[in-house]
Amino acid sequence: MILITGGAGYIGSHVAKQLLEQDRDIIVIDNLSTGFQRTIDTLQKIKKFDFINLDLNDFEKVVEVFEKYNIETVIHFAAFSQVGESMQNPMKYYMNNTVNTTHLVKCTSVYGVKKFIFSSTAATYGEPTLKGSEQTITEEFDTEPINPYGKSKLMSELVIKDEAKVNKDFKYCIFRYFNVAGADIHYEREELLPRVGEAHDPETHLIPLVVKTALGKRDAISIFGEEYDTPDGTCIRDYIHVDDLADAHIKAIDYLDENESDTFNCGYGYGYSVKEIIDSVKNTMKCDFKVIKGERREGDPSTLVSDNTKIKEKMKWKPKYNDLGLIIKSAYEWEKNLK
């Protein structure tokens, strides 16, 4: 049995979707604080599974879940993920992301869980200084997070690694995500609407905000800073389609049967600037909208692009949807139908 925490959220729901499509047995824990019941209902239509509406801070109830089910793998997404909010309210992040993860890891140890797959972030690298021709970030880079969100995830990584040092039956895969975007890709195959996608409240991420603007749900998109040290002056990010990212998690389940625990960057290895994203939405969706000059956002590094050699070589992960037009189109189709 595979336990997914945060399965009603953006990335967790895509992993749940893929596992259910493969007819695997899962259970989902989510407190629906940022995830949605409607996402669970949609997933149940693929294949039935047990959904437990539970906050991970309810330790007694979490233990009951481990008592009840024979859990072999935990895929842990449940967390808060807004950098800005973490600066305002660090305890919210340390309690939910770090303390609750620590308790979950303790349960895995007590109940003999063999595999732990953890959703981490490129925010653990902080503001890496790229030297000379070095333009991408490898897993060997120093981890010096600059906000409580990145710190809360890095601390969780350390807890997981320490447990694995003493518990030889426990293996982990840590994935450091770059910028995740897009929605359920099945509409490409079957010309159906995306079943799951991104819906944050408030939305702070670039691609959904640009897509909302293209759809007329917002008046304008604001560019946060145009004087960065990049070719067009706007920040560069490595945008990965959520279904390719989900696939890495699925691969990790089998990978850990044969291989040692490890940490992997998840990205495509090249980046787009904010202006390029805006132009691409205009071109792909053949529309125009208002773009305004905004202030820099505190804590935004100019360039964050992954070196993904390790995940490709070791895990044989092959991106399938590394096409910006496709990412944008799936995000657009999802957003268009989002109430």
Catalytic residues: 149
With CA atoms as reference, report the closest residue to 151 among 92, 221, 218: 92
Decide if residue 209 touches ligand UDP (CB under 6 A): yes
How many chain residues are in contact with ligand UDP, going by CB under 6 A?
Answer: 14
Joined together, the tokens standing for residue 8 give 């009603």
- Rounded to 10 degrees, the C-alpha dihedral 240/51/116/186 comes to -30
- Residue 336 CB, nearest distance to ligand UDP (Å)? 19
CA distance 23 to 32: 24
Residue nearest ligand UDP by beta-carbon distance: 235
272: left (phi over 0), alpha (psi -120 to 50) or beta: beta
**Minimum distance, C-beta of residue 239 to ligand UDP, in the bound complex (Å):** 8
Pick the closer one to ligand UDP by CB: 106 or 218: 218
CB hemisphere CA count around 224 (13 angstroms): 14
Can you tell me which of 113, 174, 206, 252 binds ligand UDP, judged by CB under 6 A?
206
Looking at the chain, how many residues does it have?
A: 339
Cβ 33 vs Cβ 100: under 8 Å: no
> In the beta sheet, which residues pair with residue 76?
5, 118
Candidates 17, 176, 195, 205: give the one binding ligand UDP (CB under 6 A).
205
Judged by CB, which is closer to ligand UDP: 218, or 310?
218
Among 42, 109, 204, 230, indicate the residue that binds ligand UDP (CB under 6 A).
Answer: 204
The Cα–Cα gap between 104 and 102 comes to 5
Q: Which stretch binds ligand UDP (CB under 6 A): 59-67, 86-94, 219-227, 315-323?
A: 219-227
CB closer to ligand UDP out of 51 and 228:
228
Question: What does the per-residue mask of binding to ligand UDP show for 6-45, with x meaning CB under 6 A?
Answer: ----------------------------------------
**By the criterion CB under 6 A, which residues form the site for ligand UDP?**
179, 204-206, 209, 221-224, 235, 237, 274, 297, 300
